[in-house]
Amino acid sequence: MKMADYWRFFGDRINKAIQYYIMSAASFPEYYQAWFHLGCCYVQTGDYTRALDAFWNVKYILKRRQRAAVLRPMEVIYLYKSYCCSGYIQYHYFREIDKAILEDVTAECIWDEIEQSQFYKIMDDSEHYMKQMIKKQLHIGKLYRVIYKLANQVGDVSLAEEYHKKIRFMLQSNMSKGF
């Protein structure tokens, strides 16, 4: 994985990085981080079908922990981003707006599930702080705007209105907090 990261971020040889991410995933098939970064590399090379497959693997690997409500913070981030990336690919490269909406709405569900996660119970006093930090990193407002835009494109008025309300509520709550 470290060699793959080197070639991707410093060596500027994406195909070499892909080889190492594949080796990492083959050595440890549950290595969701390797699958995620492999998907990102495939996006960079324009191989969107393989990118979707790699992001699907992240979702599959973490599904069991998600159902048990015990995703760790890093797992939440990778799972959320896998759904967002899949939605982005479905919309921008395959023009599958309905599939993009489904991926993005599922990403929102991942964000919502942070509050129900049993993982944070072991954090004692820092449980609330940790949840807020993870949520802040995931930029849910940006996702709301994407879903709102996609819903308008497919003519789903009720979905568009639902996300328009969420955007307004978020903006109002941020204004009341002084952001």
pLDDT, tens digit (0-9, with 9 covering 90-100), for 57-73:
999 999 999 999 999 99
Q: Is the pLDDT of residue 91 over 80?
A: yes
Task: State percent of the chain over pLDDT 70.
Answer: 96
Q: What is the pLDDT of residue 137?
A: 92
pLDDT at 178 over 70: no
Concatenating the DSSP letter of every residue in 55-76 gives: HHHHHHHHHHHHHTT---HHHH
Residue 134's nearest CA partner among 88, 178, 85, 78 is 78
**Closest to 43 measured CA to CA, from 99, 82, 100, 95:** 82
| Mean pLDDT of the residues in the chain | 92
Phi, psi angles (nearest 5°) of residue 70? -130, 30
Q: Which helix (H) or strand (E) holds 83?
A: helix 73-92
Read off the pLDDT of residues 116-131 as tens digits, 9 standing for 90 and up: 888 877 766 788 888 8
Residue 16, pLDDT above cutoff 90:
yes
